[in-house]
Amino acid sequence: MAKLNMVKALNLALLEEMERDNDVLVLGEDVGVDGGVFRVTDDLQRKFGSQRVIDSPLAEAAIIGTAVGMALYGLKPVCEIQFSGFAFQCFHQIENHCARYRMRSQGRFHIPMVIRMPYGGGVRALEHHSESEEQFYAHIPGLKMVIPSGPRTARGLLAAAIRDPDPVIFFEAKALYHAAKEDVPDESEALPIGRAQIAREGDALTLVAYGAMLRVALEAADILRTEDGAGVEVIDLLTISPLDRDALVTSVKKTGRAVVVHEAPRSFGPGAEIAASIMDGAFLSLEAPIRRVTAHDVPFVGFAREKANVPDVPRVVAAVRETLAF
Amino acid sequence: MPRPFALPDLGEGLTEAEIVKVLVGEGDVVAEDAPLLEVETDKATVEIPSPFAGRVARVHIQPGQTVKVGEVLVTFDDSSVASAGQGRGASEPHSPRTPPPAPSPLPRRQPATVANVSEQPVEHAAGGAGRAGASAPAMATGTGIGVGPVPATPATRRLARELGVELRAVRATGPAGRVTDDDVRAAASGSASRSSSLAARVNPAQRGQAVAEPGAAAPTRGGADAERAQVAKPLAPIGAEAPPLPRFEQWGPVQRQPLSHLRRTIAERMALSATLIPHVTHFDRADVTELDAIIRRSVEPARERGLVLTLTSFLLKAAALALKEHPQFNASLDGAAGELILKRYYHLGVAVATERGLIVPVIRDVDRKPLVELQRELATLAQRVREGKATLDDLRGGTFTITNIGALGGTGAIPIINYPEAAILGVARAREEPVVLEGRIVPRTLLPISLTFDHRVADGADGARFAAAIVRRLERPEQLLLDW
């Protein structure tokens, strides 16, 4: 067991997968010599050379387009988009090609690639550096959308994403990069994509969160346990798409109540799909309407006001209390 | 099939009560609504009526015992005894189409609206027809609340389905009128509908009539036999339903406040009266200059005897004497029988405003008591009422009501009859006013009165004469002394 932060854990996963499989390669802006703006690809070029750790031009469409070609050829590229806010430059490549090749070729080709992007607020970054836009990718059939919540899940899910035969969008919460360290097993570990985890057991309410919001949810659950004596079950979604509906439904059938937390703006966000899935599967167990605690329906605000926009512990606690009291 | 009867929810969040008296014994046959026992809660002593007619198989409790809501008090035998029973239950004609309701597995709908109020009394007033209207399906479609889905969470709906409970038939106690899991469970165990209907029945003033002292009614009936040449027929039932309210939230923030037990009782009683009785109000003014002078002169001697002399005791006396002259205002209309019940006793209610709401204690035999005694009783009763210590006996059996709004000013008000009485006297503030007397303008003290009466019972001319009879006595106080 080693105690690692999320940057080191992601770096470890890349290292292990590149050692395990010679077809795995890394490309993106500043990933080579610089080791990535957040140092996730630190030292990889020195170990694996510039043929497998490629510094790309500042051109997101080119990174993804090139990678799609590599994947068709049989390689397993892991692309880094420096900030998810810049991904619109390559959205065409992702949506029109990356996501569609398996369908378009009737299964003859598939795209085994990973697109890593830092996402989310809480680090006082500039415009286009703080958005939470997982819903764009989760909405596209043919893509998988994964968001780890800490070092161990980051390492295990990145390994699984690299081994996955199809394209995986892999979001990394900037707020978590250098946050808490966590024990990461010595053995290489791949966590199943499409499977949520119960981060904390409880029977009063199901609190659904992912990425950086998991910490917020757990803190809220602590407060609710001590102040209200309410056992809140916290589900760490880990994969946004495909959604682990079974885990959600099983939990809500037990608790009868649910609150969803995400950093993305509310309207048409993942919370809506999560709430609808719970309605479908656990309707007759519901004791209260499902609430969402989300960012507001505004473009991401400047860093001076981001705390008012991104859900925090008091907002989650208040929503849970309202739902419990309904 | 034995039918258990448990302590109903008496309202105000009370959870237990002490048994004061058991009024029935094992083997007794009791009519529906006949008094079963008296219990004392921390609010008042309450008489609990029999929920149905039948033979008492077992009495499970004894005086002095404290029982919790839901505990079985009495077990009844088979309901077939009911038809052989005596008293009100048996005297009510049941139409052949509508047999008396059997204890149904689904509790009857008791929506917390005016519909709830009218159900019980209309049932009494209109007999069989009222019953038919009260059966579950009819209520479901007939009330405003019956429109659209019943508010309940999906989990509660599932519970209701599993327990075989019709949601519409459940009394809702949750926020925003929602049916809760507990409501459904209560309904499933058969207590919900009963407790709610009984909670309504034990409300003081209403109970006073529901039990309708048979001794008092009987001689009247016998005496009226000669006049019953024509066949008495029941009046048509009144069906009043409140339409659903608009969503007020669409225009601004609102707050929902549950009604207190007393507020609900007042609301039910007023709605009942205003719905059932065609009200007409007659206005008059009494020149009380002389009476006022008498009261002023007597204030000091009265105080020495520990009395605060007020106009109300004179009003009571004047009204009681006038009622003797005009007995149709000291009466109740029995719509089911098509008869007027003239009461040969003069128990007058006086409306008392308390912090919790309006309460009407009753002074008995006003016609026979000296003024000083009336004054003394009035003071004691009013105090008991304000302290919340009034017993049901203090509050029921009234035949006519006086409401004095003078203390708070105003020039007059139109009171609503205290159902099922036939009339009520409103009194505003007495003021010195210029009056033309024998060609000269002189200052006189005038007391505005408003007499509201049941137009089914009396006409405008009768009302004017009755009001004049009161005014005459107030204007010539010596008549009060002489009991004329």
Q: Find chain A residues with C-beta within 8 A of B154's C-beta.
A: 283-286
Chain A positions contacting chain B at CB under 8 Å are 256, 283-288, 326
User: With an 8 Å Cβ cutoff, are A284 and B156 in contact?
Assistant: no
* pTM for this entry: 0.50
Number of other CB atoms surrounding residue B307 within 10 Å: 16
Of A72, A73, A75, A69, give the one whose Cα is nearest residue A51: A75
Of A150, A318, A95, A144, give the one whose Cα is nearest residue A243: A144
Does the pLDDT at position A259 exceed 80?
A: yes
What's the CATH code of the domain at B414? 3.30.559.10
* Range(s) of the domain holding residue B21: 1-92
pLDDT in tens, A104-150: 999 999 999 999 999 998 888 887 888 999 999 999 999 999 999 99
Number of folded domains in chain B? 3
Sign of the dihedral through C-alpha B175, B180, B184, B187 = negative
What's the CATH code of the domain at A38? 3.40.50.970
User: With an 8 Å Cβ cutoff, are A287 and B156 in contact?
Assistant: yes
Give residue B398's pLDDT.
95
pLDDT in tens, B123-173: 333 333 333 333 333 333 333 344 577 889 999 998 888 888 888 888 888
Based on the fold, state whether residues B284 and B431 are members of the same structural domain: yes
Measure in Å the smallest separation between the Cα of B175 and chain A Cα atoms. Answer: 8
A224, A182 contact by CB (below 8 A): no
Measure in Å the smallest separation between the Cα of B155 and chain A Cα atoms. Answer: 4
Based on the fold, state whether residues B284 and B258 are members of the same structural domain: no
Number of folded domains in chain A? 2
Which of A159, A184, A209 finishes a domain? A184
Based on the fold, state whether residues B300 and B400 are members of the same structural domain: yes
Based on the fold, state whether residues A34 and A176 are members of the same structural domain: yes
Judge whether A189 lies within some domain: no
Based on the fold, state whether residues A149 and A205 are members of the same structural domain: no
Question: Could you give the dihedral angle defined by the CA atoms of residues B349, B350, B353 and B357, in that order, rounded to the nearest 10 degrees?
Answer: 10
Based on the fold, state whether residues A124 and A227 are members of the same structural domain: no
Judge whether B287 lies within some domain: yes
User: With an 8 Å Cβ cutoff, are A286 and B155 in contact?
Assistant: yes
Mean pLDDT over residues B77-100, rounded? Answer: 44
User: With an 8 Å Cβ cutoff, are B153 and A286 in contact?
Assistant: yes
Nearest chain B residue to A288, by CA = B153
- Candidates B60, B94, B279, B455; catalytic one: B455
Which of B46, B68, B92 finishes a domain? B92
Please list the active-site residues of A.
129
Based on the fold, state whether residues B195 and B323 are members of the same structural domain: no
Q: Find chain B residues with C-beta within 8 A of A256's C-beta.
A: 155
Helix (H, G, I), strand (E, B) or coil at B83: helix
What is the end-to-end Cα distance of chain B in Å, rounded?
59
Mean pLDDT over residues A79-95, rounded? Answer: 96
Based on the fold, state whether residues B286 and B267 are members of the same structural domain: no
Give residue B218's pLDDT.
38
User: With an 8 Å Cβ cutoff, are B154 and A284 in contact?
Assistant: yes
Based on the fold, state whether residues B366 and B394 are members of the same structural domain: yes
* Range(s) of the domain holding residue A292: 197-325
pLDDT band at B113 (very low <50, low <70, confident <90, very high): very low
B205, B350 contact by CB (below 8 A): no
Give residue B70's pLDDT.
80
User: With an 8 Å Cβ cutoff, are A287 and B158 in contact?
Assistant: no
pLDDT in tens, A141-196: 999 999 999 999 999 999 999 999 999 999 999 999 998 899 999 999 999 999 99
Q: How would you classify residue A49: left for phi > 0, otherwise alpha for psi between -120 and 50, otherwise beta?
A: left
Based on the fold, state whether residues B396 and B459 are members of the same structural domain: yes
Average pLDDT, chain A: 95
B79, B103 contact by CB (below 8 A): yes
Nearest chain A residue to B174, by CA = A326
Give residue A215's pLDDT.
96
Would you state the structure tokens that stand for residue B24, as one six-digit string?
Answer: 């029935």
A111, A167 contact by CB (below 8 A): yes
Based on the fold, state whether residues B310 and B443 are members of the same structural domain: yes
Give the list of residues 6+ apart from residue B22 with CB closer than 8 angstroms, or none. B36, B37, B59, B61, B62, B63
Distance CA B44, CA B357 (A): 15
Interior/surface letters B71-102, b for 16+ CB within 10 angstroms, e for the rest: eebbbbbebeebeebebbbbebebeeebeebe
> Does B461 lie at the interface with A, CB-CB under 8 angstroms?
no
Counting runs of H as helices and runs of E as strands, what totals does chain A give? Answer: 13, 14
* Complex ipTM > 0.90: no
What's the CATH code of the domain at A317? 3.40.50.920
Q: Which of A257, A286, A291 to mutate to test the interface with B (most CBs of B within 10 A)?
A: A286
